[in-house]
Amino acid sequence: MASRKRARPADNGELDAAPSASKQVKTRHVAALILARGGSKGIPLKNIKMLAGVPLIGWVLRAALDSECFDSVWVSTDHDEIEKVAKAWGAKVHRRRPEVSKDSSTSLETIQEFIRFHKEVDVVCNIQATSPCLHPRHLKEALDMIKQQDFDSVFSVVRRHQFRWQEVKKGSGEPTKPLNLDPLNRPRRQDWDGELCENGSFYITGRELIEKGVLQGGKKISYYEMLPEHSVDIDVDIDWPVAEQRVLRYGYFGRETPEVVRLMFCKVSGCLTEGRIFLSMSGEEMLSINTRDTTGVRMLQKEEVEVVLLTSSEDPVAQSLAGKLAERTGCQVIEVGEEPMDDLNPMVEKRKLQWKDVAYMGNDKPDVNCLNRAGLSAVPGDAPVVAINAAKYTCHGIGGKGAMREFAEYILLQKQKGKSQMKQDRIDSSS
C-alpha cells in the first residue's frame, strides 16, 4: 500500500521572504545526512546496535542509497565504530566537532556545522537514524515535492487518532480540559480524520533556510504523510523488541530481496557447527549439530527450497558430519574451494536461477562475495566483522546453536511478505 502524501502551503510570517530551496534544484547538490552521535544515554551506541540482524543505522542508509535520489549520502558522527559501520554500508562520513557532539547539542546545530564544511551541498535531507521502517520511495516522493512542486521544506508526518487532554500539576486539584475533542460528542474513529504528527523520519530543507536557523520554513511548507506501520522510532530499550517485529514485517530489505528463495547454500563448519571438536577416549574426533538447525533445514525443504551443504577439504570432520546430515535430510553436499563463488555459479546457472533467488549462509572472509551477491544472506552472531558487514542479516544465535533455524524462519518470513505484497498489488491494480 502506497504512503499517502498531501501538500499544504503554509504561511510562516517573517520567513516568507526566504528564497526557495527548490529553484534550479536539478542542478543543485542534494545530500542525505544521518546524525549518529556515539554518546546515546538511553541505549549505548544505539545507532549501530543490531536490529533484526542489521545495524540500526543500516536500515536508513540502505533506503537512502537505494532511492538513488541523492548526490551524496553522509553520516555525521563523533565515534570511530559508527564511522566504520557507515563506510561499510556505503556512506561518506563527516567527523563532527566536539562542540556539536554534546548531550545538549541540537540537530539544527549539527546540520549547520555540516553545511559549513560542505559548501557544495544546497539541499539537505536529514534522515533520523532511529526510523528503521523508512523506504526509498518515501524519500523519492518527498524530494519530488521540492523538485517538482516548488516547496521550500518538506517533513514527514503520521496520522494519529488520539484524544489529547491538558496536563495539570499533580495535587493542584485543578480540572483538566480536552484539547482536541468534545467529550459530550466523542467521534467514532471512522468519522474522524485524526491529526498529523511529526514522526521525525526526515526533514528536507535548503541551505538558505538552515543558515537562518530553520528546518521547516520558507514561503511554502509541505508535509509528507507516512503510514503508521512505517512510522517506527526507537528511543529507549523497551522500544527495541517492538521495533524489531515491526521492521521484520514492514522494513525495506533491499532491491535484490527475492520474493521466493529457490536455493539455499549453507556452510557446515561454523554455521551448523559451533567450532569445537570433541575427542573420544579412543582419540576419534567428533562434532555435534543442533536439532533446531536440522528442523530449520526441513522447514525450508517443506517450502520447496533446495538446501545444499558446503564443506571444505581442509575440514574432513565437518565433511563426515555433512554426509550423515545429508542421509537424514536428503540435502546435497558439495566441496568448495577458497572462493565458493567459483564452485556455486555453475549450480545457480544450471537451475536457471539468478543470485537474487538464492540464500547463502556463511561465516568468514571466503564467504564475502557470496554473502554480497545472494538475495538473502546471513551469518551467525559470532561471525567476524568482515562477514557481518557483507551479510544482509546477522543472526542472534551463534554457529551450531540455532543460527540456521533462525535464518530459515527469516527466509520464510520474506516469502510470506512477498505473497502479501503480490496480493496487495492485485488489489491496487483492480481498484
Looking at the annotation, which residues are catalytic? 186
Give the dihedral of Cα atoms 122, 126, 132, 138; nearest 10 deg: -50
Q: Which residues of 195-204 are buried (b: 16+ CB within 10 A; e: fewer)?
A: eeeebbbbbb
Alpha-carbon distances, residue 256 vs 38, 380, 389 (angstroms): 31, 21, 17
Which single residue is written with the C-alpha cell 570511530?
80
Interatomic CA distance for residues 147 and 430, integer angstroms:
31
In whole angstroms, give the CA distance from residue 44 to residue 62: 22
Cβ contact 253:245 at 8 Å: no
Burial of 21 (0-12, 13-18, 19+ CB in 10 A): buried
Residues with Cβ within 8 Å of residue 22, at least 6 apart in sequence:
123, 146, 147, 149, 150, 151, 152, 206
Sheet holding 358-361, edge to edge: 332-335, 306-311, 263-267, 358-361, 376-379, 393-394
Cβ distance 91 to 82 under 8 Å? no
